[in-house]
Amino acid sequence: MEIDNKTAIALGMLASKWRAAKEQEQEITAKRRKIEEEMANLLPVPEEGSKTFDVGKEKITIRQPLKREIDWEEFDALDLSDIHKNKVMKIRRDLDLIEYNTLKMSAPSEFEKIQGVITTKPMKISFSIKD
């Protein structure tokens, strides 16, 4: 797509402003994280979950999330009954975009069938500006 000179100048100015804002954002984020670290050193951090503290006029909530990852090969090899395996794990159904796009080309009639059950919504636009 061709971009005219006026638009190119405007985009150049906006890109400079974007870079400056992004740099400020990174600096502010680093400052906020340092403050959060200092607060975490002063409060009892829950093992998991959140805890709220009344501090004068403020209510400070500290949250300790935990991320758990499963080694599915090892899990499947465990000597557990299927009943217990199914109670412990949730299987998440997700759209495989590679297969979805392959289906569009290889089996258009099947692709059309599933189109009715898929809702597509645009997400937040993101930018990357590099020199």
Q: What is the pLDDT of residues 41-58, one digit of tens each?
A: 999 999 999 999 988 888
Predicted pLDDT at 92 = 81
| pLDDT on residue 75 | 82
> Residue 78's CB: how many other CB atoms inside 10 A?
9
Task: Check residue 17 and give its pLDDT.
Answer: 97
Residue 59 CA: distances (Å) to CA of 64, 77, 79, 81, 87: 16, 46, 47, 46, 37
Domain ranges of the chain: 1-66, 68-116
Taking the CA of residue 36 as centre, how many other CA atoms within 13 Å lie in the half-sphere pointing to its CB? Answer: 10
Residue 94: CA count within 13 A, CB half-sphere = 6
Q: What is the pLDDT of residue 128?
A: 67
Which pLDDT score, from 0 to 100, does residue 20 have? Answer: 97
Low-confidence ranges of the chain (pLDDT < 50): none
**pLDDT recorded at residue 83:** 67
Between CA 93 and CA 82 the distance in angstroms is 19
Determine if the pTM surpasses 0.75: no
The whole-number pLDDT of residue 9 equals 96
What pLDDT shows up at residue 130? Answer: 67
